[in-house]
Amino acid sequence: MGNPAVCLFHNRGKKTVDLTQTFENMKQIITLIAATLLFTAVNAEGKPYKTPAKINDLKAVLSVSLQAAGKVSISWSAVTNETTTTVYEIQKRTGNGEFKTVAILMGESYPVYSFRDKLNITSGTIEYRVVTTDKNEIISTVSQNLVVL
């Protein structure tokens, strides 16, 4: 029968649509929803989420660079003693606006993590911040600006 993830439909005899990519996108969306629910459950003690203080930790390294096609590459080193409950929350803000969460990654014992984001401004400053928590405790915050001319 072939690959069960590949599903072909005929659109009234005009063309065939391959839904393989749609299924892959759905898997990514389901994974993101699961990570969001887990992050919400871990941080659902009823206390307001405190804005983390900026920590100047020489061991924490954040690299933000502009890539082709309007993409931004963010990479950072893992925290020491990372566990399966370690959560990396990637946040960004434009100018002096509020930080907004753009992604949540669970710790998986990698030495370095990375994330790509779409550039949403043509000029100005974007600041990226990675907030690391473990069991609802902030253990690290590191940030870096990117100036777009």
Q: What is the pLDDT of residue 127?
A: 92
Per-residue pLDDT tens digits for 48-80: 444 443 333 445 688 998 888 889 999 998 888
Q: What is the pLDDT of residue 147?
A: 85
Q: What is the pLDDT of residue 70?
A: 85
d(CA 37, CA 31): 10
**Residue 56, SS3?**
coil
**For residue range 2-50, what is the model confidence (pLDDT) as tens digits?**
444 444 444 555 555 555 666 666 767 777 676 666 555 555 554 544 4
The whole-model pTM stands at 0.59
Query: Where are the CATH 2.60.40.10 domain residues in the chain?
Result: 62-148
Contact 78, 112 (CB under 8 A): yes
The CATH superfamily of 62-148 is Immunoglobulins (2.60.40.10)
In the structure encoding, which two tokens stand for residue 142, read together? 């590191």
pLDDT at 136: 87
- Do you know the residue count of the chain? 149
Measuring CA to CA, how many Å separate 95 from each of 52, 92, 108, 141, 148?
19, 10, 32, 19, 11
**Once rounded to an integer, what is the mean pLDDT over residues 95-112?**
91
Per-residue pLDDT reduced to its tens digit, 105-148: 998 888 899 999 998 888 889 999 999 998 888 888 888 888 88
Predicted pLDDT of residue 36: 66
**Per-residue pLDDT for 99 more than 50?**
yes
pLDDT at 29: 72
What residues are paired with 112 via a beta bridge? 77
